[in-house]
């Protein structure tokens, strides 16, 4: 699936209280810090339009109070740059069952790669001070 | 005492132990800094208790080396812990010490947590039944019984695996010290409860943000995720025994939870908890040394992510290594191999205890009955549900969650592709650990209970994915719940297993009156063990060993009577060599070598040894001065001349 923003996920919208995923609220379109936007087509820092949210916004008051749960499967579109990695990852995961050493390799190799990536990003930018860092 | 009374007594004892473990665990995870949301608090409760168990285990190892394992030793341990708390400004004689901990427990209380606990109280009834024989009585609990009797970490060279890593049994030792053999099973049950609460809490905490509790739907997902483990009869049956598989699963889960929360909350204390739990896990079983490197890289990656200075990263790595190493260093000194005989046999060709045939025999046994081809491996998760009682799996059944064992590898591979994003790296760390554990299971053995190492963590991980999906796509949250509920479907074989469990419950409740009569009537060879032990003690010959053929399950009962034994499937006193000695009329060498005062073997021994040869053995023993003791028709007992 494609992600519409590189900003870290998490938090709640300061405008409507809904879960904020990425830099913008999926519900009302408000950015992380600032007033609600008129449009639900957030833009990147470069000003180019981002992908629209997957469905139209729904005001909290419009939700029925008592009803059967609305069940609908979201439309998940795989961007071309994500489809291939997903397919490769799926194939690797299934193959890891057929060849247990591959599961061991993905596990151990992955941890080495993550440790390396952490180290590289640490040397690239100064991390904020933390409890363990200051202690 | 009735069965219910016995269970209630065990529950009271184990809950006191739970409280003590929790208090010790707060040396690592201080309650003032733990979560106050229902999910985070439940997860922290599980991790903190696991930390306490680990710290008790580490301390027991050190005390065992110093020959200081005595009934009053826990008092000294409590005083030392209290002094450490006081030094850190959190003295137990202040009210704040207790109120902060009480608040942490109260925060963990939620309807879902109570539902899980109530269900656990029901299946925990099986843990009160005395073990009538199995791996626990043939070697697991024997270590703890030996240490409790000797007040030290002694090594009996006739143990099945004398040079092993046995962290969990260090905790069991304190129960054995007070003669609480069956209660070690209820202690296992406690680890199962903590595992379920840990899964539940982890799933909910994954969608709790900024100290805000998650919605009711997340609580439902947490319960479903816990059910995907709790409805597996492999989990239920193993929880009721003193086998170490469920505790291993708890410590793997606690490592995963603490690692995730360390990254999420940028908490050094959570990283310390991760180190403690991971190190304890590495020392729980010799083959778990394979987890040293993955955990080491995970700890280093997390420490870097937390912004720790290089010196701090080194300290974290050294702390993990030192805490994980004790058994391996001890074994290397005593046997020349940290994981004897796994390195000695391939590299040296010899081992102090095992022969190459023993080693290859066990390796074969671990993968018995399954086609190890790629296609065969691919079908292993499915077969573990459809043919659970086959020689490969040796269980009663499981839940569909095992069919999704490939998901962590998928997430790991995908997250590695996106590893430039910090949050993808967080997911990758946990996913890689679980993927490694799945590979470890399939590489070492297909036995269903060995998959318990990753089952709880897998359930927590899948639950986390489902909870995140439910938050991200609110209108499709029921799909997420349905996908998770798929994991909790028990295989059809569970029905028969569940019926058997209920029948065993009824039998236990109706027929249990006291432990001794229960064991005398139901445990094979238990009357013979008592008779032989009495005879040796009457004669003042407790220095003599008892050789048992094809009866390794009674070792614990002898050890608890202070009688040393010989005879096992593996090792220098192996049964096959004994049979060979009978054929060659050289039993005398056995008597001399092992200083044997009694022999015990099944009367119906035709499967392994012809009746004619049994007669030859009787003649040979008679020539050596042994006389036959009439104890039962099922087993032959021969006592030495001076043992009456």
* B268, B294, B417 ranked by CB distance to A89: nearest: B417
Tell if the CB–CB gap between A132 and B303 is shorter than 8 Å. yes
Mutate to test the interface with B, among A123, A124, A132 (most CBs of B within 10 A): A132
The distance in angstroms from the start CA to the end CA of chain B is 33
Q: What is the pLDDT of residue B369?
A: 64
Burial of A62 from C-beta contacts in 10 A (0-12 / 13-18 / 19+): exposed
Q: What is the pLDDT of residue B109?
A: 93
Residue B303 pLDDT greater than 80, yes or no:
yes
For B209, the 3-state DSSP assignment is: strand
Q: Say how far apart CA B169 and CA B543 lie, in whole Å.
A: 25
* HSE-CB of B182 using CA atoms within 13 angstroms: 21
Burial of B387 from C-beta contacts in 10 A (0-12 / 13-18 / 19+): middle
Residue A44 pLDDT greater than 60, yes or no:
no
Count other Cβ atoms within 10 Å, centred on residue B610.
11
Which of B132, B161, B171 shows the shortest CA–CA distance to B24?
B171
Residue B404 pLDDT greater than 70, yes or no:
yes
Q: Of the spans B151-165, B267-281, B465-479, which averages the highest pLDDT?
A: B267-281
**What does the block give as tokens for B84?**
């450490």
Mean pLDDT of B263-272: 94
Task: Supply the angle between the helices A100-124 and B292-305 in degrees, to the nearest 10.
Answer: 20
Mean pLDDT of B333-340: 89
Structure letter (DSSP) for residue A43:
B
Count other Cβ atoms within 10 Å, centred on residue B566.
21
Tell if the CB–CB gap between A108 and B297 is shorter than 8 Å. yes
For A126, the 3-state DSSP assignment is: coil
Q: What is the pLDDT of residue A1?
A: 37
Q: CA angle, B113 as apex, B109 and B116 as ends, to 5°?
A: 150
Burial of A13 from C-beta contacts in 10 A (0-12 / 13-18 / 19+): buried
**What does the block give as tokens for B589?**
């060498």
Mutate to test the interface with A, among B305, B317, B461 (most CBs of A within 10 A): B305
Q: CA angle, B336 as apex, B149 and B276 as ends, to 5°?
A: 65
Q: What is the pLDDT of residue A71?
A: 53
Q: What is the pLDDT of residue B342?
A: 85
- Torsion angles phi and psi, residue B218, rounded to 5: -65, -35
Which of B325, B354, B352, B338 shows the shortest CA–CA distance to B167?
B325
pLDDT band at A129 (very low <50, low <70, confident <90, very high): low
Tell if the CB–CB gap between A89 and B293 is shorter than 8 Å. no
Q: Is the distance from CB of A131 to CB of B266 less than 8 angstroms? A: yes
CA B465 to chain centre: 27
B614 vs B234, which has greater pLDDT? B234
- Torsion angles phi and psi, residue B215, rounded to 5: -75, 175
pLDDT band at B42 (very low <50, low <70, confident <90, very high): very high
**What does the block give as tokens for A9?**
């996920």
pLDDT band at B585 (very low <50, low <70, confident <90, very high): confident
Q: What is the pLDDT of residue B482?
A: 94
Tell if the CB–CB gap between A110 and B475 is shorter than 8 Å. no
Q: What is the pLDDT of residue B577?
A: 85
Contacts with B304 from chain A: Cβ below 8 Å: 115, 118-119, 122
Q: What is the pLDDT of residue A78?
A: 59
Q: Which residues pair with B628 in a beta bridge?
A: B638
Mean pLDDT of B486-508: 86
Q: Say how far apart CA B491 and CA B497 lie, in whole Å.
A: 10
Tell if the CB–CB gap between A97 and B442 is shorter than 8 Å. yes
Of all helices (H) and strands (E), which one includes residue B376? helix B374-386
Tell if the CB–CB gap between A11 and B209 is shorter than 8 Å. yes
Residue B34 pLDDT greater than 90, yes or no:
no
Contacts with A88 from chain B: Cβ below 8 Å: 413, 417
Averaged pLDDT score across all residues of chain B: 91
Q: Is the distance from CB of B168 to CB of B110 less than 8 angstroms? A: no
Query: Which residues are within 8 A (CB) of B41 and not within 5 positions of it... i.e. 6 or more apart?
Result: B34, B35, B104, B105, B107, B108, B201
Query: Which residues are within 8 A (CB) of B157 and not within 5 positions of it... i.e. 6 or more apart?
Result: B352, B353, B572
Strand A20-21, strand A24-25: pairing: antiparallel
pLDDT band at A12 (very low <50, low <70, confident <90, very high): low
Q: What is the pLDDT of residue A47?
A: 52
Residue B117 pLDDT greater than 80, yes or no:
yes
**What does the block give as tokens for B493?**
């074989």
**What does the block give as tokens for A126?**
């100064």
Q: Say how far apart CA B218 and CA B469 lie, in whole Å.
A: 11
Q: Pick left, alpha or beta for residue B285 (phi over 0 → left; psi -120 to 50 → alpha; otherwise beta).
A: beta
For B387-401, write each residue's pLDDT tens digit.
888 888 888 778 999
Mean pLDDT of B308-319: 95
Residue A82 pLDDT greater than 80, yes or no:
no
Q: How many residues does chain B have?
A: 644
Q: Residues 33-92, chain A: which have Cβ within 8 Å of B?
A: 54-55, 69-74, 85-86, 88-90, 92
Q: What is the pLDDT of residue B33?
A: 80
Q: Which residue has the tokens 């992510």?
A: B305
Positive or negative torsion for Cα B330, B331, B336, B337: negative
Residue A56 pLDDT greater than 60, yes or no:
no
Q: Say how far apart CA A78 and CA B143 lie, in whole Å.
A: 55
Residue B227 pLDDT greater than 50, yes or no:
yes
Tell if the CB–CB gap between A73 and B476 is shorter than 8 Å. yes
* B406, B473, B478 ranked by CB distance to A96: nearest: B406
Q: Which residues pair with B637 in a beta bridge?
A: B600, B629
Which of B368, B352, B288 shows the shortest CA–CA distance to B570?
B352
Q: Say how far apart CA B246 and CA B241 lie, in whole Å.
A: 9
CA distance B127 to chain A (A): 34
Which of B429, B173, B453, B146 shows the shortest CA–CA distance to B285?
B453
pLDDT band at B575 (very low <50, low <70, confident <90, very high): confident
A123 vs B547, which has greater pLDDT? B547
Q: Pick left, alpha or beta for residue B394 (phi over 0 → left; psi -120 to 50 → alpha; otherwise beta).
A: left
Q: What is the pLDDT of residue A6?
A: 42
**What does the block give as tokens for B229?**
């483990």
Residue B132 pLDDT greater than 60, yes or no:
yes
Q: Is the distance from CB of B280 to CB of B58 less than 8 angstroms? A: yes
User: For A34-48, B50-64, B117-131, B237-251, which range has the lowest pLDDT when averaged over its residues?
Assistant: A34-48
pLDDT band at A55 (very low <50, low <70, confident <90, very high): low
Q: Say how far apart CA B399 and CA B227 lie, in whole Å.
A: 9
CA distance A130 to chain B (A): 6
Structure letter (DSSP) for residue B42:
H
* B210, B431, B476 ranked by CB distance to A11: nearest: B210
DSSP B447-516: -GGGGHHHHHHHHHHHHHHHHHHHHHSGGGHHHHHHHHHHHTPBPTHHHHHHHHHHHHHHHHHHH-S-HH
pTM: 0.88
Q: Is the distance from CB of A19 to CB of B214 less than 8 angstroms? A: no
Q: Which residue has the tokens 């003791």?
A: B629
Q: What is the pLDDT of residue B542?
A: 85
Count other Cβ atoms within 10 Å, centred on residue A87.
11
* B306, B415, B432 ranked by CB distance to A107: nearest: B432
């Amino acid at each position: 699936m494609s992600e519409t923003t590189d900003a870290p996920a998490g938090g709640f919208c300061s405008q409507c209280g809904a879960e904020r995923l990425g830099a913008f609220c999926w519900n009302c379109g408000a950015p992380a810090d600032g007033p609600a936007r008129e449009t639900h087509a957030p833009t990147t820092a470069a000003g180019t339009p981002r992908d629209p949210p997957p469905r139209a916004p729904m005001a909290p008051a419009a939700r029925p109070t008592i009803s059967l749960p609305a069940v609908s499967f979201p439309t998940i579109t795989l961007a071309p740059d994500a489809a291939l990695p997903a397919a490769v990852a799926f194939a690797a995961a299934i193959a890891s069952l057929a060849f247990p050493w591959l599961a061991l390799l993905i596990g151990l190799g992955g941890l080495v790669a993550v440790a390396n990536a952490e180290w590289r990003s640490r040397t690239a930018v100064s991390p904020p001070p933390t409890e363990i860092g200051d202690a | 005492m009735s069965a219910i009374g016995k269970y209630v007594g065990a529950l009271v004892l184990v809950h006191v132990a739970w409280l003590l473990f929790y208090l010790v665990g707060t040396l690592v995870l201080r309650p003032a800094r733990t979560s106050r949301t229902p999910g985070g608090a439940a997860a922290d409760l599980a991790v903190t208790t696991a930390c306490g168990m680990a710290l008790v285990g580490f301390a027991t190892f050190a005390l065992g080396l110093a020959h200081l394992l005595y009934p009053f030793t826990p008092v000294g341990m409590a005083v030392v812990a209290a002094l450490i708390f006081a030094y850190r400004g959190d003295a137990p004689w202040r009210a704040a010490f207790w109120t902060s901990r009480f608040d942490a427990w109260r925060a963990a209380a939620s309807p879902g947590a109570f539902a899980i606990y109530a269900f656990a109280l029901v299946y925990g009834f099986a843990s009160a039944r005395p073990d009538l024989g199995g791996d626990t009585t043939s070697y697991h609990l024997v270590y703890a019984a030996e240490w409790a009797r000797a007040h030290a970490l002694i090594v009996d060279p006739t143990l099945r695996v004398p040079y092993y890593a046995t962290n969990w049994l260090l905790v069991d030792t304190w129960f054995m010290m007070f003669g609480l053999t069956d209660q070690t099973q209820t202690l296992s049950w406690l680890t199962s409860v903590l595992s379920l609460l840990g899964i539940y809490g982890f799933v909910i905490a994954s969608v709790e943000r900024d100290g805000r509790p998650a919605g009711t739907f997340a609580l439902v997902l947490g319960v479903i995720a816990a059910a995907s483990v709790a409805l597996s009869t492999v989990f239920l049956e193993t929880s009721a025994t003193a086998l170490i598989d469920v505790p291993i699963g708890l410590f793997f889960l606690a490592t995963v939870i603490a690692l995730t929360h360390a990254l999420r909350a940028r908490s050094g204390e959570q990283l310390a908890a991760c180190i403690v739990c991971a190190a304890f896990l590495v020392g729980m079983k010799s083959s778990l040394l394979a987890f040293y490197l993955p955990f080491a890289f995970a700890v280093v990656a997390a420490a870097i992510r937390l912004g720790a200075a290089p010196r701090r990263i080194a300290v974290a790595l050294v702390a993990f290594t030192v805490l994980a190493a004790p058994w391996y260093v001890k074994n290397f000194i005593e046997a020349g191999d940290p994981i004897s005989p796994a390195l000695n046999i391939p590299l040296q060709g010899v081992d102090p205890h095992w022969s190459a045939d023993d080693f290859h025999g066990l390796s074969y046994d671990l993968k018995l009955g399954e086609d190890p081809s790629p296609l065969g491996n691919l079908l292993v998760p499915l077969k573990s549900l459809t043919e659970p009682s086959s020689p490969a799996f040796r269980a009663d059944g499981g839940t569909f969650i095992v069919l999704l064992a490939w998901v962590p590898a998928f997430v790991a591979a995908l997250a590695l592709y996106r590893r430039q994003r910090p949050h993808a790296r967080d997911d990758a760390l946990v996913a890689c650990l679980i993927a490694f554990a799945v590979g470890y299971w399939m590489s070492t053995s297909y036995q269903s209970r060995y998959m318990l190492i990753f089952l709880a963590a897998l359930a927590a991980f899948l639950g986390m994915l489902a909870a995140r999906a439910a938050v991200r796509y609110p209108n499709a949250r029921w799909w997420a719940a349905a996908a998770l509920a798929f994991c909790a479907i028990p295989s059809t074989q569970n029905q028969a297993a569940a019926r058997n469990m209920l029948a065993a419950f009824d039998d236990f409740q109706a027929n249990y009156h006291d432990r001794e009569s229960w064991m005398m009537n139901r445990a094979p060879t238990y009357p013979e063990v008592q008779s032989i032990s009495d005879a040796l003690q009457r004669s003042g010959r407790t220095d003599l060993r008892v050789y048992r053929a094809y009866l390794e399950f009674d070792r614990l009962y002898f050890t608890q009577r202070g009688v040393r034994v010989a005879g096992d499937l593996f090792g220098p006193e192996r049964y096959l060599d004994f049979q060979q000695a009978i054929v060659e009329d050289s039993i005398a060498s056995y008597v001399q070598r092992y200083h044997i005062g009694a022999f015990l073997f099944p009367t119906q021994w035709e499967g392994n040894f012809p009746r004619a040869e049994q007669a030859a053995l009787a003649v040979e023993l008679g020539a050596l001065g042994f006389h036959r003791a009439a104890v039962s028709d099922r087993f032959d007992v021969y006592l030495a001349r001076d043992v009456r």
